[in-house]
Structure 1
Amino acid sequence: MKDNQTDRRHKLTLFALTWPIFIEILLHMLMGNADTLMLSQYDDDAVAAVGVSNQIMSVIIVMFGFVATGTTILIAQNLGANNNKKASHIAVVSICTNVIFGFGLSLVLFLYGRQILLAMNLPEELMSTALIYLQIVGGFAFVQALLMTLSAIVKSHGYTKDAMYVTLGMNVINVLGNYILIFGAFGAPALGVTGVALSTAFSRGLGTVILFIVLYKRVKGELPWAFLVQRFPKEELRDLLRIGIPSAGEHLSYNTSQMVITYFVATMGTAALTTRVYALNIMMFAFLFSIAIGQGTQILVGHLIGEKRYEEAYKRCLRSLWIGMSVSTFTAFTFAVFREQILNIFTDNTQIIQLGSILLILTVILEPGRAFNLIVINSLRAAGDVKFPVYIGILSMWGVSVTVSYTAGIWLGLGLIGVWIALIMDEWLRGLLMLRRWKTRKWEKMSFVSEDKEKENKTQQG
């Protein structure tokens, strides 16, 4: 088993890792866009309601996403260092930990969904619709927690295609379920937003079961469940928290700042909320390449750091950055050129189309800055430098993104255009600071496995 894993690591390339991740994330995005597109044929207000609920779900996912982040980095570094035993222990601990977190957060969303939506300043006419969606999808948030963890383990071992195939199946089931339950096809009841929520929850649940089977077949010899009974996994939890909590802090800061911005946008009216949802869904495709390249680079850099091949890790990040910037910018430019035709797919509301078109033009400036954060930050985390992105992120997201959104969007009356200007400033500032940090190469001394591996080698030699 170990020899096969060693051979597999040496065969890993950015392209081999990235293209399945690209397809997987594309399918995840298509799942969300399918919900939006199919709901847009049902009711524009329903789109706004689901958009706000998903904003809340993004924050909740970060709460247990920190375990998945730590899992990816720790397993990659330990496999790179040929410390397979510890990698397997981390996999088991991460699964159990995220299930516990997931159940707790699912309960909070189900019981206190209305209070959370009220805190978001959601218009009253959207409340009942948003609450139904949040209680169903949020009530099964633990499934998403487990799905993320299993996917992280599989991809860290290099099996990115497996995660892609599972996501493809989830997409097919989700779209079919939407069609049947939104519009009442084949004699089923027309449930609208409730149908979308049920379809989303079911497809994720089925995907989780299948991915667990895949994981068991791929690395079953590396998942020693029995050791959890033998001792409390203090060391593994410590390592997960050392990476996961700072990493989650950066994600949590971003998502909560976006919730505050959503609160600002909500004061601009339902049309502004709906426009933002459409624009964000379209923008996802522009930075899709950077996300995929960032995740693939994270896995590669983690393996290289575990093997102490620091120079290769340094160059790998910079090459990935320029690729991600180039492709995402080109994609954003293409969307800007065909902005009206794309928006017409979602809505025929002239006000939404006009405002959304301006936002898509501004996205051409936004995307290169976002590529810095999606690729360089992932590389810093993979190398063990997890605190610096949090410090800079909190300062920039709140000091620039939120502050300028309010000042330009509400105080100066620029609306969503002011919000987009704030996003551009935030992404570019953080991105340039992250690149400067990477070039200092301070991360070379921050590996999470170096000390453990040295101790293990001394023990073996003794």
Structure 2
Amino acid sequence: MTINPPRDTLPAPNFGARNIFNLAWPMTLKAIILHGTVVIDAYLVSSLGETALAAMGLAAAIAGFVLGGILAFSNAMQIRTAQAFGTNDPVFLKSVLVSGMGISLAVGSIGLLVISLFGGRLLAAMAPTDEVVGLAINYLAVFSLVILGEAVGQCLSSFFNGCGRTKLPLYSFCLSLPINVAASIVLIHGLFGLPAFGVTGAAMGSAIAVCVQVGFLVWRLVRLDGHLRHVAGWRNGTLNATIRRHLAFSLPIAATFFSATFAAQFCTLIYAKMSLNEFAAMTIIAPWIMVAGTIGMQWAQASGIIVAQLLGQRQPEAVLDRFLGSAWRGAFVAAACVALVYSGVCLSAGVLYSDLSVETRAYLLSFLPILLIMPFPKCSNAICGNTLRASGDTIYVMHVFIWSQWLFRVPATAIAVLYFQVPVFWVLSLLLLEEFVKFPAFHRRLLKGDWKRAELAA
């Protein structure tokens, strides 16, 4: 096992905002493309009518829980890879890759087993007609290949991100996206003499695209890191012990992402109890909050990757402080960009959503003050959370997220909507208040400074 030298024996590298930007912009574009793929698939299927669109929506919702699990564990692997990369220990790096791949495939396989056992009954209970159920089942049957492909692809993407090669996952998406669109159009409508598969054709197009994406990532892995297969030994002695250690590190991070997904879905169900115009306004603004927010979130994730690498290198505390100061300054610039996008959406509501009622557009405009403020505490909290995760303080971060969601946001939303019927402006403001609830817990922990003295030997 590699013995890390004392912190003060290593040279102090000049990491700063430029390094974060070089990591963050490919991750941001990849995240936007990922979200945009869902929108494109829905648009392509919409030409088949409401029945096909409903079938795809239901099937995608069920598959989304499995994909969410894969993404949650891949986020944890990204941090663990960065720690391993920073130590320059090939045994550690190989152990992370194998452990992460095993866990990702296990999550995907368990998800597929649950879908095969209960998916049909769940669809039958949720779908409005038997035709929708049949189409959704056919879609899910083919989409299973996408789930397995993503289990491999997201794992490799996180591995490359943790090693600082964030452009490679972006290239894989840029390669697969046009293939997805072209193949889906051909297979949905039966062009060039092929059968018209309808909504199932969209799943086929996604399956073809993910195969291309995974093939590209595997090719790059073999070219860049093929030597790892010749490295002997495991980080924690045996493969089983190494996987258990990786799982122990990953579970709190995965639990955080699961909690966020369930809390968001629960709040959406509560929003449905508002007036039609208020619910429409919340439905419209939610995707914008998610997509534009990736700018700040990916900046924070890139900062966490570099912090993990620096901790793996055992750099002095002064280096860590200097880097984090630069990361924080950049986070406020990213937050300003997010706020600018939000303001453009709200101020352009009359043009972007001219078919909607005047009342709905007025609600969208009323969101502007909240959306101008929210990115700043949110980005600052994200810097804290990703820095603490990079040091291995994952359980504390999990508690902050879970309790702020389930002891504040969800019950506050239920009380505000179901009991007091407050205006939609105040309902949206709960998202901002949640960031202020998390703010002292995150920042006190970070300023305490224990993360700078974290040991990554285990």
Cα distance, 1:247 vs structure 2: 0.6
Which among 402, 408, 416 is matched to residue 410 of structure 2? 402
Gaps of 5+ in 1: 453-462
Q: Which amino acid aligns with 1:202?
A: I
| Partner Cα separation in structure 2 for residue 269 and residue 47 of structure 1 | 24
| Partner Cα separation in structure 2 for residue 213 and residue 194 of structure 1 | 29
SS at match of 2:210: helix
- Structure 1 pair 192–357 and aligned structure 2 pair: CA distance change class (3 A): farther
Partner of 2:119: 113
Cα distance, 1:237 vs structure 2: 1.7
Alpha carbons 2:335, 2:379 under 8 Å: kept:
yes
- Structure 1 pair 46–320 and aligned structure 2 pair: CA distance change class (3 A): farther
Alpha carbons 1:336, 1:364 under 8 Å: kept:
no
Task: Pick which of 390-399 and 349-358 moved more.
Answer: 349-358
Alpha carbons 2:281, 2:361 under 8 Å: kept:
no
Which among 9, 18, 25 is matched to residue 19 of structure 1? 25
- Structure 1 pair 411–255 and aligned structure 2 pair: CA distance change class (3 A): same
Cα distance, 1:268 vs structure 2: 6.1
| Partner Cα separation in structure 1 for residue 109 and residue 228 of structure 2 | 26
Q: How does 1:248-267 map to 2 (within 5 A)?
A: 248-265=254-271
- Structure 1 pair 424–43 and aligned structure 2 pair: CA distance change class (3 A): farther
Partner of 1:313: 320
TM-score by length of 2: 0.82
Cα distance, 1:57 vs structure 2: 4.1
Alpha carbons 2:405, 2:434 under 8 Å: kept:
yes
Q: Deviations over 1:407-427 (max 9, x none)?
A: 223333358656533333223
| Partner Cα separation in structure 2 for residue 370 and residue 318 of structure 1 | 12
Q: Does 1:172 align with 2:178?
A: yes
- Structure 1 pair 59–172 and aligned structure 2 pair: CA distance change class (3 A): same
Partner of 1:435: 443
Task: Pick which of 327-336 and 243-252 moved more.
Answer: 327-336
| Partner Cα separation in structure 2 for residue 335 and residue 24 of structure 1 | 22
Q: Which amino acid aligns with 1:213?
A: W
Q: How does 1:21-420 map to 2 (within 5 A)?
A: 21-39=27-45, 43=49, 50=56, 54-116=60-122, 122=126, 124=128, 128=133, 133-134=139-140, 136-137=142-143, 140-182=146-188, 185-186=191-192, 193-224=199-230, 232-265=238-271, 278-309=284-315, 310-314=317-321, 315-316=323-324, 317-343=327-353, 348-350=355-357, 354=361, 357-358=364-365, 361=368, 362-413=370-421, 419-420=427-428
Alpha carbons 2:70, 2:108 under 8 Å: kept:
yes
Partner of 2:452: 444
Give the count of matched residue pairs. Answer: 439
SS at match of 1:287: helix
Alpha carbons 2:188, 2:196 under 8 Å: kept:
yes
Task: Pick which of 13-22 and 249-258 moved more.
Answer: 13-22
Q: Which amino acid aligns with 2:128?
A: E
What root-mean-square deviation, in Å, do the aligned CA atoms of Structure 1 and Structure 2 show? 3.7
Which among 423, 433, 443 is matched to residue 431 of structure 2? 423
- Structure 1 pair 90–373 and aligned structure 2 pair: CA distance change class (3 A): same
- Structure 1 pair 412–30 and aligned structure 2 pair: CA distance change class (3 A): same
SS at match of 1:447: coil
SS at match of 1:400: helix
Gaps of 5+ in 2: 3-9
| Partner Cα separation in structure 1 for residue 270 and residue 181 of structure 2 | 32
| Partner Cα separation in structure 2 for residue 432 and residue 187 of structure 1 | 62
- Structure 1 pair 237–416 and aligned structure 2 pair: CA distance change class (3 A): farther
Alpha carbons 2:52, 2:132 under 8 Å: kept:
no
Cα distance, 1:305 vs structure 2: 1.2
Q: Deviations over 1:362-403 (max 9, x none)?
A: 544443343234433122211211111211111111122211
Cα distance, 1:287 vs structure 2: 1.0
SS at match of 2:394: coil
Q: Which amino acid aligns with 2:361?
A: Q
Task: Pick which of 237-246 and 248-257 moved more.
Answer: 237-246
- Structure 1 pair 59–368 and aligned structure 2 pair: CA distance change class (3 A): farther
| Partner Cα separation in structure 2 for residue 366 and residue 437 of structure 1 | 21
Cα distance, 1:254 vs structure 2: 0.8
Percent identity of paired positions between Structure 1 and Structure 2: 21
| Partner Cα separation in structure 2 for residue 266 and residue 180 of structure 1 | 36
Cα distance, 1:166 vs structure 2: 0.5
| Partner Cα separation in structure 2 for residue 127 and residue 145 of structure 1 | 27
Q: Deviations over 1:64-85 (max 9, x none)?
A: 3344233222221122122232
